[in-house]
Amino acid sequence: MVKFVVVDDSREDTRHIFDLLDEVVSDKKVVAFQKLTPELKKEIMNVSEHKVYILDIELGNKVSGINIAKLIRDVDWESEIIFITNHERMFESVHRSIYEVFDFIEKFHDFDKRFKKDIGEIIKRNFDNKMFVYKANNVELNVYYKNILYIFRDTEDRKLIIIADGNGKYSVALNIKDILPMLDGRFVQCYRSCIVNKTRIQEKNYKEGYFTLDTGEKVYMLSKKFRSDLDD
């Protein structure tokens, strides 16, 4: 679940942000504030959660969005910050004052498109926490999808071998047909006995029958038969 903290003194703009978030993110929690309050200060101090702050720069009180961002960065360098404003001229002052800002978006300049694109990029980059979960015969395995490189069938052991980042190698008593529904859309069958995480592929060579991963590993389990799924 992704937590969004919206700070905007316009209820109408806040509702619009909520609607845009609904279009992009399904599993989320959104809290909203119109100004700096004790509750917002408590939220900022809670650094146990990785959040996305959406801050209107020009709030209708003495404490601006820039001031709030400074409070955030005093204690939290992990959460993302997106600034929104009515005025382009605020861009320079923001970047002089605050480090590590994800983006600066004008409310009346292609706002919806840029906002949704930013949120999509943030989710993809920082909140990809989906996991492959396997439990059988007193064995429990939890591996992040993003860390799985490929899965192949061991013909001798007749089990699937999951190859993951950090030299991870896990054996599960499943077959290709069984495991595919347990994965998400980034995984496709690329060979009769192999599934690959297509987001981790750097090169595909159908002529030679191999793919190269972003780790540099070359795997000779690539078939033209599955090309349409892999290239989609």
Could you tell me the domains of the chain?
2-126 (3.40.50.2300), 131-230 (2.40.50.1020)
Supply the pLDDT for residue 96. 56
Q: pLDDT band at residue 155, thresholds of 50, 70 and 90?
A: confident
Among 7-16, 96-105, 181-190, 211-220, the least confident range:
96-105
Structure tokens at 195: 């599934």
- Residue 3 is predicted with a pLDDT of 93
Using 50, 70 and 90 to split pLDDT, how confident is the model at 175? very high
**Alpha carbons 163 and 194: distance in angstroms, whole number:** 11
Q: Are 176 and 195 in contact (CB under 8 A)?
A: yes
pTM to 2 decimal places: 0.59
Give percent above pLDDT 70 in the chain.
94
Burial bucket for residue 212 (CB in 10 Å: 0-12, 13-18, 19+): middle
* pLDDT of res. 90: 58
pLDDT, position 176: 95
pLDDT at 91: 57
For residue 94, what pLDDT is reported?
60
Binned at pLDDT 50, 70 and 90, residue 185 comes out as confident
Over residues 30-51, the mean pLDDT reads: 94
pLDDT tens digits along 91-108: 555 655 666 788 889 888
Mean pLDDT of 65-84: 92
Average pLDDT, the chain: 90
Rounded-to-integer distance, Cα 48 and Cα 27, Å? 18
pLDDT value, residue 89: 60
What average pLDDT does the segment 35-59 reach?
A: 93
